[in-house]
Every structure is written in structure tokens, then in C-alpha cells.
Chain A
Amino acid sequence: MSAGDRFAAAGTAAPPRPLDPRALRADVPLLAPDRPGGRIVYLDSAASAQRPRVVVEAMDEYYSTTHANVHRGIYAIAEEATRRYEQARAAVGRLIGAPRPEREIVFTKNATEAINLVAYAWGRHELRRGDVVVLSEIEHHANFVPWLMLREEIGVELRYLRLGADYHLDLSDLDRLVDGARLVAVTCASNVLGTVVDLSPIVTSARRAGALVLADGAQLVPHRPLDVRALGVDFLAFTGHKMLGPTGIGMLWAREELLDAMPPFLGGGEMIRDVRLDGFTPTDIPWRFEAGTPPIAEAVGLEAAVRYLEGIGLERVREHEVALTAYAIERLEAVHGDRVKIFGPAPDPLRRSGVISFAVEGVHPHDVAQVLDTRNVCVRAGHHCAKPLMRRLGVSATTRASLYLYNDEEDVEALVDALGEVRRLFR
């Protein structure tokens, strides 16, 4: 069923074969080479990936053959819809090494909602005035604003891990910052800098301080193998549409005992055991946190995306992106180094992702992106929902190219060429 199955034969024993991005692009309708108007050079997967045909087909097939609401019907297609929805939960759990996905994975709308779920259900319940939450200054707004809201509401104290000169988090003051904290909420990988955060010392320090750890995995789960048990975190938020799945579905993984102790997030159908005129009893996890009809077709599409990624192998995806990122940085510096400044760490197999933010001297990022668009090169220009980081970098915006499994050196060359056009225009 999955086009990714043809990769599955490779198994995991042999050294991973390099990816063939051109073949992978053939799986993705939007990236077709014969697209009217020209092939799209898609360098914005950090914002949203382009999904392979199998994902869209799985959703179509589900709607055409199976759809019914989940968890209530006593008829065959409703039971099948429930089975497929829960099967998607199991697939997501498998991807991140969740010990008990059927209890620990909550489907949300996106990663933002997953973090908000923790802030509301855990934070509002557990945190008191003066309690400390540690964030980093490179977070996406999704991991700032829910905590800033709790600061306004409850009076929690926020502390920040700072960015070092090498574009990695400065952990020299880690123990003092984390001391007395209730929660450390930090990204796995920056959506601006491409910095992959070394969570291990943060988790160790948090454990010592008795703090929980929430990791924002939106920018890392799609790109490399990750195991929540090895990571040692307590909460992991991530999203479907950045990992080849559909929009409208995100995930929170949390340790079972934490979820079990948390009161509900949104109220409504699906999340209750009983409702009386004078009260309600919430149902079991994970459904306690899934009020209303969930994104069923999206879960089906997401499972197809997970299977596709598993068929390819996330270790191969990582190796491909590491090599391509090194190539892209080298080419940008070789050809445009006199006018292009990259905001991010040096290439590194473990500590850097394929997100490359840069400035072209004397040209605003929106103008860069506009010129690149005329060459069908899609990059993002703006603050990337990371305004505190923009202030730290001393810029109002950056241009960002981000790489994924279907990108190759040809795409990088298209970017390098198009930047030449930017420079010619804005001499």
C-alpha cells in the first residue's frame, strides 16, 4: 500500500543506503518535475512539509469506504473507523518509542495545542504563584505564549536559557537556572537557527531539581530517530503536517502517570464518563483530553505518513539532511559569503538540523523571498514566530531555507543561483 514499502526491503541491519530524493519527489504530487509553471523548489518544510500521494490516498480511501464517528457506533464501519483512529495512535507511538501509546499519545490540533494542553491541564492545576518555569530564548511562540499567559494568570516566574555565540544554548548556568523549577520547557530543535538542543544535560539537571521536562519536538521528530525513553523527557509535543502528514492533527506524548493525574483540557463529548445536571466525571486517558469529534481522517493520513517514513528509515533521513545541510552551507558561503550571513551553528551530524536562516546584506528578507519566488524557489521570510530570538539576533526578520528528505543538491543550486539574481537586482 505504501510507496515507502519499496524502501523497507533494505531493513536496518546493513549500513543505510543514501536516499534518492528525486525518486522521493516522484511520490509527492506537488513536487512533480512537469508541474505547469515549472518545478517547485520547496525549501520551506520547517513550516510545513509536502505530503506524498499515499497520505492523500489513505485519507480519500478512508472517507470513501469507512468514515463514521469514532468510539460510539455499534455498526461495522464505525467500529472500523475507531480501529483505524486508534491504530494511528499506535503508529505514532511506535515512531517515538512510546512504551504505552494507547494511553500516552493524545491527538491534538497541532503542536501548539499540545503545549497549551500541558499549560492548561497540568500548569493551571499544578503551578502556584512564584513557581518557576524555565524556557529558552530560542523557542517558537508556541512555547512562549502559553507560559507567558500563565505568568499573567497565576504569577509563575519564567527563567530563560540563553543563546551562546556558537548558536547553541548556553548551559553554563543550567543548574542555577533550573534549581527550584517545576518545569523546563524547551525545544528539541530551533525552527530558525537549525540548532539541535542537547537535551541530556537539561534532563539530568531538571531531574536533580525535581522539575518535569517538556520538549517541543515539532522540528525534530520528522527528521531523525527519536526515542522518548532514551530522551528522558516527560512531555513531547509534535505535529503531523511537518512529518508528511495532513494539517489539523498534532500529538502530545506524556508519561502515563502524569496524564492520569491531569484534569481535562477542553470539555465536551468524548472526554467524559458521565454527565449529570450537577457535574461530570471525565473518562480515561488519552480520550480525557480529546473533547469532541477528533481529526479521524487526519489520523488515518498521519498513519500513512508514519509508515512512509518508517519504510524509508529516519536514520537515512537524518544522514541525508546532515550531508545536504553541510553542502548548502558550504555553497552559500563559497558563492555568496561576501553578502550572506548565516544565523546558525556549524554543520554537525548530531547538533544541527536542515534549517538555514540567513541575511543578504542590504536586502530585506521579504524582497529576497519575492525574487526567489520568481524562480519557483519557496523559502520563508519573517520572524518565524520567534520574536524574542529575532531581538536577540538583532534583526526584524530572516530568510529561511529548510531541507527535508525530498530536497537535493539541485535544490540547493537553485537557491544559490536565485540569490545571484537577488544580488544583481539589489546591487
Chain B
Amino acid sequence: MSGLEDLYREIILDHYRSPRNRGELPTPPAHRVEGYNPLCGDEVVLYLQVDDGMITDVRVGGQGCSISQSSASMMSAAVKGRSIAQARSLVRSFKSMMSIHEQRLDGGDAGAGSDGTTLEVEEAPEPVDPEAMGELAALQGVVKFPVRIKCATLSWNTLSQGLDELETGA
């Protein structure tokens, strides 16, 4: 019952070995935002170039485990060329993909017959179409390893924070 192949899918390892959009952008005009997980030391630095509400370029720096770094790489590929609204929607979808599975894991079949051990989630998860998630769906397996979920969500929370800062002009 290793489940290792669920965690370390080939596409994840590929993004870990060959991270996409690695590097920096000049600030300004780009916006720089850092995410940090003090517990394990994982670190993600994002450079967001936004023009007219579109994320025209993304660069990723930082260091950490395969899950945090591949998730950041996949995230950068997924949001580059998207509007801020589309990126925010993707953040929501990604985070609910993590939450839904968190629930199913604990409560067996989600819904009827739940024995009450279902984990609390921050927000009611939206239905996620795995097709629409593209290769991000490969990260689904992470939810079987609860301590690693924060590794996968680090870059997404950092992106959220960066978009907030851009929109409030911080």
C-alpha cells in the first residue's frame, strides 16, 4: 500500500526536474511576491507581469520539495496568458480539488453515510472538472498524504496573495 505512484506521478517529477518559467522578472514593472512554509522551509517566489488585467508573464524562484516546486511550475504554465479573473478561478478550482479529496479520504464515500470524521474545510468545495484542470489533475494524489497538501497549495496561495496585492495596489 505504497501509494507512492499517486504522489510522485511522472508529470510531477518532470516538472520538478525541468521546472517551467524558472527565473526572475524586473520589478517594476513585474510584481514580486513570496510564499513561505515555515514548518518545512519550502519557499516560492513569484514574479507576475500583468498588463490590462492579463497575466502576460510569470517567473518562479525559490526552493523546496518536489511537490511544492512542481506545483509552482505547473501553476505558472497554467496561468500564463490568462486573465486575473481566470487565474483566480483556477486557484479556487485547484484548492477545492485538494479539499474534495481531503473529505473523501476521511469519510469514505463523500455524502450519505458519513461517519462524522469528515474533515472541516474552509469553504464549501466547488465541483471540479478534472478535464478542465489539465495536467494539474496529476496533483490530486497529494491529498492522500495530508502533510504534503500545504506543499502543493503553497504556490497557489502565493499567487492569490500576489493578485490581491496587484488589485489593491499594495
Contact = CB atoms under 8 A, between A and B. Distances in A.
B13 A364 contact: no
Interface stretch (A96-104, A187-195, A318-326, A365-373): A365-373
A367 B65 contact: yes
B65 A426 contact: no
B132 interface: no
Given A370-B148, A382-B41, A396 B63 contact: yes
Contacts of B65: 364-367
Contacts of A426: 8, 13, 66
B110 interface: no
Given A374-B4, A425-B8, A426-B66, A366 B145 contact: no
Interface in B1-42: 2-4, 7-8, 13, 40-41
B145 A370 contact: yes
Report, as a range, how many residues of chain B touch the other chain.
Answer: 10 to 19
B64 interface: yes
B61 to A, nearest CB: 14
Interface in A369-427: 370-371, 374, 381-383, 396-397, 425-426
Interface in B45-86: 63-67, 69
Contacts of A382: 40-41
B151 interface: yes
Given A364-B64, A425-B13, A383 B41 contact: yes
Given A374-B2, A374-B3, A426-B66, A366 B40 contact: yes
Given A364-B65, A366-B151, A396 B41 contact: yes
Nearest to A382: B40
Nearest to A390: B41
B27 to A, nearest CB: 24
Contacts of A374: 2-4
Contacts of A363: 66
B7 A370 contact: yes
Interface in B124-162: 145, 148, 151
A13 to B, nearest CB: 50
A383 B42 CA distance: 11
B78 to A, nearest CB: 22
A393 to B, nearest CB: 13
Contacts of A397: 40-41
Contacts of B7: 370
B80 to A, nearest CB: 25
Most buried by A among B66, B67, B151: B66
A367 B66 contact: yes
Contacts of A364: 64-66, 69
A363 B69 CA distance: 12
A108 B128 CA distance: 51
A383 B2 CA distance: 26
A396 B39 CA distance: 12
Contacts of B64: 364, 366, 396
A425 B4 contact: yes
Nearest to A365: B65
Nearest to B3: A374
Nearest to A396: B41
A374 B65 CA distance: 17
Nearest to B7: A370
Interface in A251-279: none
Contacts of A370: 4, 7, 145, 148
Most buried by B among A370, A397, A426: A370
Most buried by A among B63, B65, B148: B65
Contacts of A366: 40, 64-65, 148, 151
Contacts of A365: 65
B70 to A, nearest CB: 11
Nearest to B148: A370
A85 to B, nearest CB: 36
A391 to B, nearest CB: 11
Contacts of A371: 4
Nearest first, the 9 A-B pairs at minimum CB distance are A364-B65, A366-B65, A374-B2, A396-B41, A367-B66, A367-B65, A374-B4, A397-B41, A425-B8
28 contacts: A363-B66, A364-B65, A366-B40, A366-B64, A366-B65, A366-B148, A367-B8, A367-B65, A367-B66, A370-B4, A370-B145, A370-B148, A371-B4, A374-B2, A374-B3, A374-B4, A381-B40, A396-B41, A396-B43, A396-B63, A396-B64, A397-B40, A397-B41, A425-B4, A425-B8, A425-B13, A426-B13, A426-B66
Given A366-B65, A425-B8, 16 more contacts: A364-B66, A364-B69, A365-B65, A366-B40, A366-B151, A367-B8, A367-B66, A370-B7, A370-B148, A371-B4, A374-B2, A374-B3, A382-B40, A383-B41, A397-B41, A426-B13
